[in-house]
Homo-oligomer: A and B are copies of this chain.
């Protein structure tokens, strides 16, 4: 790690090894390509139900997970594909889940809205807005009681910040000084409702004061800014000093879900945010700081395409659950 007092490069460049940064870029491409692949598969009728794509928000997911090990936990929300991949999941098993296959992470029972990978510490997406917040606090409590230094990163949206679960969770985490980092991905809307119409304060981070915890708002499309905010919050959590709230300002390029007609926002707004693509920006930063060159970046991007292709093939080739096993996994098997 370089000395920050003399090194003027962005935090992420200074702080992480080149291999880590390249891996991060890879995973960001993987998220993008995975979601495009899922979108395409949906159109082809291979995925049913609905999906919430995080295209445009990859920087927030990846940068927030930079310092997490498999022993650290995350809880995710309905817009959770990025978190899952950022935490280390395999896209093949994710596709298998989306295709409803027994080889999927949830054995075909969960689908997109419940995607999880317990082995890499992802306790799961959640269909209930705010549902993951108290669970994250519980995971942090368990780590503390079990004497581990593991932290939990809790992802949720701006919309979730108006749920009672947000309030109760942040208060409990603070009173008990638990190692949890609340990461609000503020993409400006909860479905169709802008934060201005739903939330009494301008920045979600302003609410941190109500829980006596640090609160910070960062450009969620700036990989380095996010990773720095998380670095500080995670250090605080591991040191036993308690929770933090980090707000990543970002934007979803796609509609809320497959049924959104985008009546609540303008094309201009969407396009202005597409110009702030977090992946292109991170790639450019890495190149600018000599972490890789254009060709290497292209190779990484191509790897992501290949991984997604392989993932889809794996998922397609996998078997569906047996119809007789509808009630399997409801209770532990004896």
Q: Which residues of A contact B (CB under 8 A)?
A: 162-168, 170-171, 174-175, 197-201, 206-207, 209-213
B175 touches A164 (CB 8 A): no
CB-nearest residue of chain B relative to A212? B200
Kindly report how many copies of this chain are found in the complex they form together: 2
By secondary structure, the A interface counts as helix
27 pairs, A vs B, C-beta closer than 8 Å: A162-B167, A162-B168, A162-B171, A163-B167, A164-B164, A164-B165, A164-B166, A164-B167, A164-B168, A166-B167, A167-B168, A171-B200, A174-B200, A175-B197, A175-B198, A175-B199, A175-B200, A200-B210, A200-B211, A200-B212, A200-B213, A201-B209, A201-B210, A206-B209, A206-B210, A207-B210, A210-B210
Q: Which residues of B contact A170 (CB under 8 A)?
A: 200
Assembly CA distance A197 to B172 (angstroms): 10
Q: Which residues of B contact A210 (CB under 8 A)?
A: 200-201, 206-207, 209-210
Assembly CA distance A47 to B73 (angstroms): 52
Assembly CA distance A166 to B164 (angstroms): 8
Assembly CA distance A174 to B171 (angstroms): 20
Cβ 8 A contact of A201, one of B166, B167, B200, B212: B212
CB-nearest residue of chain B relative to A173? B200
In the assembled complex, the CB of A41 is this many whole angstroms from the nearest CB of chain B, namely 37
Assembly CA distance A166 to B170 (angstroms): 14
In the assembled complex, the CB of A274 is this many whole angstroms from the nearest CB of chain B, namely 29
Assembly CA distance A209 to B200 (angstroms): 9
CB-nearest residue of chain B relative to A165? B164
Q: Which residues of B contact A211 (CB under 8 A)?
A: 200-201
Q: Which residues of B contact A162 (CB under 8 A)?
A: 167-168, 171
Cβ 8 A contact of A163, one of B163, B166, B168, B213: B168
Assembly CA distance A86 to B166 (angstroms): 35
CB-nearest residue of chain B relative to A243? B200
Assembly CA distance A164 to B198 (angstroms): 16
In the assembled complex, the CB of A157 is this many whole angstroms from the nearest CB of chain B, namely 15
Assembly CA distance A168 to B207 (angstroms): 13
In the assembled complex, the CB of A109 is this many whole angstroms from the nearest CB of chain B, namely 29
Q: Which residues of B contact A209 (CB under 8 A)?
A: 201, 206, 209-210
Q: Which residues of B contact A199 (CB under 8 A)?
A: 171, 175
The 6 closest A-B pairs by CB, nearest first: A164-B164, A167-B167, A174-B200, A210-B210, A207-B210, A200-B211
Q: Which residues of B contact A212 (CB under 8 A)?
A: 200-201
Give the residue among A167, A200, A210 with the most B Cβ atoms within 10 A.
A200
Give the residue among A162, A167, A199, A206 with the most B Cβ atoms within 10 A.
A167
